[in-house]
Amino acid sequence: MGVRAFQRGQHTEAERFLSGALAIAERFGPEDLRLATSLNNLGHLSRIRGRYVEAEQLYKRSLAIREKVVGTDAYEVADSLNNLGMVQSRRGYHVLAEGFFQRALAIEEKSVGLDRPAAAVMLANLAGEYTLQGQHARAVPLLQRALATLEKLRGSEDWQTGEMLNNLAEVYRQLGDYGRADALYQRALAIAEKGQGPENAQVATVLSNLALLYTIRGEYGRAEATYRRALVISEKVQGPDHAEVATTLNSLADLYLRQGRFGPAEQLYQRALAIREKALGSDHPDVARNLNNLANLYRLQGNLPQAEQLYNRAMSIWVKGFGAESMEVATSLNNLGDLHLAQGQFARAESLFRRALAITEKAQGSEDSLTPTVLTNMAALYRLLGELGRAESLGKRAVALREKQFGPEHPDLAQSLNELALIYADQEQFAQAESLYNRAVAIDEKALGPDHLSLATTLNNLANLFRDQHQYPRAESLYRRVLAIQEKTLGPEHPDLIRSCENLADLYRHQRRYADAEPLYQRALAIAEKTFGPEDPSVAARLSKLADLYRLQGQYAKAEPVYRRALAGWEKALGREHPLLVVVLQNYADLLRKMGQPGEAAELEARARAIRSKRTTKDQVM
């Protein structure tokens, strides 16, 4: 009864029955195989519930009994070793996990051979471990062998064959081979639909994975429809409060977050969080993943205190469940570092990035996918600090790691090339920067298509490079292309368009094409007001730019109320003595002098001088 309750996802009831079964099995003696089975079953439940230390202890007791009773080379021992490997993998102890999986396979091969479905599962587990370590080339042949075994034993349309197709598709997706991944997902979906009907849990799983593939490729409409189909199936088959429903809700929220649909994303994240806390408990690692995603949302919305609170809460759960040096903790440290970097808190960001990097390099020898991410973030930090030599060294390491892991045409490599190009641009090594940008563009166009947002980011940076070299026609062409991609993919009022409109408007202003610049500044302002509200600092920044444009054109009557509103917005958001007020105070004063109001202009100039003087004194003291 406990096993059936476990299979239904009724974990509290399952624990009651399985604990009772264990108490009975204890009476058979400490070396009875029935006791080993009960320990194993309770270990499965503890693992699923995120109680990894408890699961490890139960599996180890089961292993010790089996080794003593049936010998160290029995297939039952291989089963226990495989279970221990899954626990260590979930805890982030990947070297240990790999060792357990390899021992399990060796015993399985020696005792009964690898032509069994159970052996195929072990092969898949080892492949999954290699994937987590970034060793995709080692994972693919293992999954191919497991697939061949299942096709031979179960047939090409068995549900286990479909699961293995799905696993292989996941690896190809991570490798950036999206066409091959898509084909394998479609085969897995057809098997699941044919074998158990169009509405079962396996269909929902494959649909969710397909939706993620569509999301990565920028096919957001298709992704949303696929996620929604998966969600309907999960809710119907497993119930609206099942943990797997939360997984799909979380994935759909991720999609909305990419699209800038913050309201719907937050609602889905909150619903998924409530389900997971109820189903799994507030300290389950999957709850931490939900908290981490919700923190990402708040960070993008500018709610940095709330984001930091959730990142820290997620990290505390992961420390408790996985230990202080797990990859999940490294992920939290990296996210917190990124948060502090965005706030200009460079020393704090550097400390967090270094802690994250130490964990990843110790755990997996720099071969995982997180290490190059942290290296790229650290390169961005040192670039902003002006330490371009250190930035370049880290950027090159990130590029080399990603090229080693994924090959020369993966979109993740394009991201690292992008950051390295920014470093070369800051060093005024324009030819090297342009070469890297062009390589990143070629990768994104081939892997993701001509309308993907990652491509737009690289094109924007390349346009900035041309602008800085006064190659204005080339810059204009790329800025226009970026706008077109964003409008097509995100819609005409997405907040990402604010910066793109401004970049093109700034270019026109430098060329004194004021009439072309004005509607773009106005559009950026309108989007910012609608997205963030009229009192947000980003609105004040847009108002300042529009007022500057009116002043440069001699439209003083139009400029004055815009400056007044911009200054009021800055003051409300940042206070009356923030350094960012200096520029708007000076420009507003210049306008007032031109309008024949020297007294008011002098007051603003005096405020600007006082802010600068206070800042200079503070820097000297520090």
Structure confidence at residue 621 (pLDDT): 38
| 6 three-class SS | helix
CA distance 263 to 269: 10
Q: What integer is the mean pLDDT of 143-151?
A: 94
Q: Dump pLDDT digits (tens) for 520-576.
A: 999 999 999 998 888 888 899 999 999 999 999 999 999 999 999 999 999 988 888
- Model confidence, pTM: 0.79
Is it the case that residue 390 has pLDDT exceeding 90?
yes
CA distance 290 to 306: 14
Structure confidence at residue 3 (pLDDT): 56
How does the average pLDDT of the chain come out, rounded? 90
CA distance 576 to 346: 24
For residue 501, give every residue at least 6 positions away whose Cβ sits within 8 Å of its Cβ, in sequence order, or none: 483, 520, 521, 523, 524, 527
**Residue 159 Cα distances to 37, 154, 191, 300, angstroms:** 26, 9, 7, 41
The dihedral through the CA atoms of 340, 343, 346, 348 has a sign that is negative
3-12, 355-364, 524-533, range with greatest mean pLDDT? 524-533
Is it the case that residue 225 has pLDDT exceeding 50?
yes
Is it the case that residue 355 has pLDDT exceeding 90?
yes
CA distance 601 to 331: 50
CA distance 476 to 516: 12
CA angle (366, 314, 268) in 5-degree steps: 110
Structure confidence at residue 367 (pLDDT): 56
Is it the case that residue 601 has pLDDT exceeding 80?
yes
For residue 158, give every residue at least 6 positions away whose Cβ sits within 8 Å of its Cβ, in sequence order, or none: 150, 191, 195
Is the Cβ–Cβ distance between 367 and 402 less than 8 Å?
no
List of long-range contacts for 83-89, beta carbons under 8 Å, 24+ apart: 83/40, 83/43, 83/44, 83/47, 83/59, 84/56, 84/59, 84/60, 85/125, 85/126, 85/129, 86/47, 86/125, 87/43, 87/47, 87/52, 87/55, 87/56, 87/59, 88/56, 89/125, 89/128, 89/129, 89/132
**Residue 203 Cα distances to 128, 186, 195, 239, angstroms:** 21, 11, 10, 15
Q: What integer is the mean pLDDT of 407-429?
A: 92
CB atoms within 10 A of CB 478: 24
For the record, the structure tokens of 341 come out as 């970097």
CB atoms within 10 A of CB 23: 10
Residue with tokens 């939900």: 290
Structure confidence at residue 131 (pLDDT): 87
CA dihedral 19, 24, 30, 32 (to 10 degrees): -110
Is the Cβ–Cβ distance between 173 and 197 less than 8 Å?
no
Is it the case that residue 39 has pLDDT exceeding 70?
yes
Residue with tokens 């569509």: 214
Q: In the structure, what pLDDT confidence band is assigned to residue 600 with cuts at 50, 70 and 90?
A: very high
Structure confidence at residue 617 (pLDDT): 47
Is it the case that residue 622 has pLDDT exceeding 60?
no
Q: Dump pLDDT digits (tens) for 268-325.
A: 999 999 999 988 889 888 899 999 999 999 988 878 899 999 999 999 999 987 888 8
The closest of 105, 168, 98, 179 to 140, measured between CA atoms, is: 168
Q: What integer is the mean pLDDT of 2-8?
A: 57
Domain edges within the chain: 198-280
Phi first, then psi, for residue 157 (nearest 5°) are -120, 15
The more confident residue out of 156 and 367 is 156
Q: In sequence order, which ranges of 91-219 are alpha helices (DSSP H)?
A: 94-111, 117-132, 136-153, 159-174, 178-196, 201-216
DSSP class of residue 402?
H
Structure confidence at residue 376 (pLDDT): 94
Is the Cβ–Cβ distance between 253 and 259 less than 8 Å?
no
Choose the weakest-confidence range: 25-34, 179-188, 349-358, 472-481.
25-34
Q: What is the CATH number of domain 198-280?
A: 1.25.40.10
Question: Helix-strand-coil percent breakdown of the chain, rounded to 5?
Answer: 80, 0, 20
Q: What integer is the mean pLDDT of 193-222?
A: 91
For the record, the structure tokens of 338 come out as 């990124």
CA distance 365 to 246: 33
CA distance 302 to 295: 10
CA distance 482 to 479: 5
For the record, the structure tokens of 13 come out as 């009831």
CA distance 33 to 486: 62
CA distance 8 to 141: 33
Q: What integer is the mean pLDDT of 184-200?
A: 91
Is it the case that residue 204 has pLDDT exceeding 80?
yes
Tell me the HSE value of 403 on the side-chain side, using a 13 A CA sphere: 12
Q: What's the residue count for the chain?
A: 622
The closest of 459, 467, 455, 393 to 424, measured between CA atoms, is: 393
Q: Dump pLDDT digits (tens) for 429-475.
A: 999 999 999 999 999 998 888 988 889 999 999 999 999 999 999 99
Phi first, then psi, for residue 114 (nearest 5°) are -95, 5
Q: In the structure, what pLDDT confidence band is assigned to residue 26 with cuts at 50, 70 and 90?
A: confident
For the record, the structure tokens of 228 come out as 């929604």
Express as a percent the part of the chain with pLDDT over 70: 96
The closest of 222, 221, 226, 224 to 206, measured between CA atoms, is: 226
The dihedral region occupied by 50, where left means phi > 0, alpha psi between -120 and 50, and beta the remainder, is: left
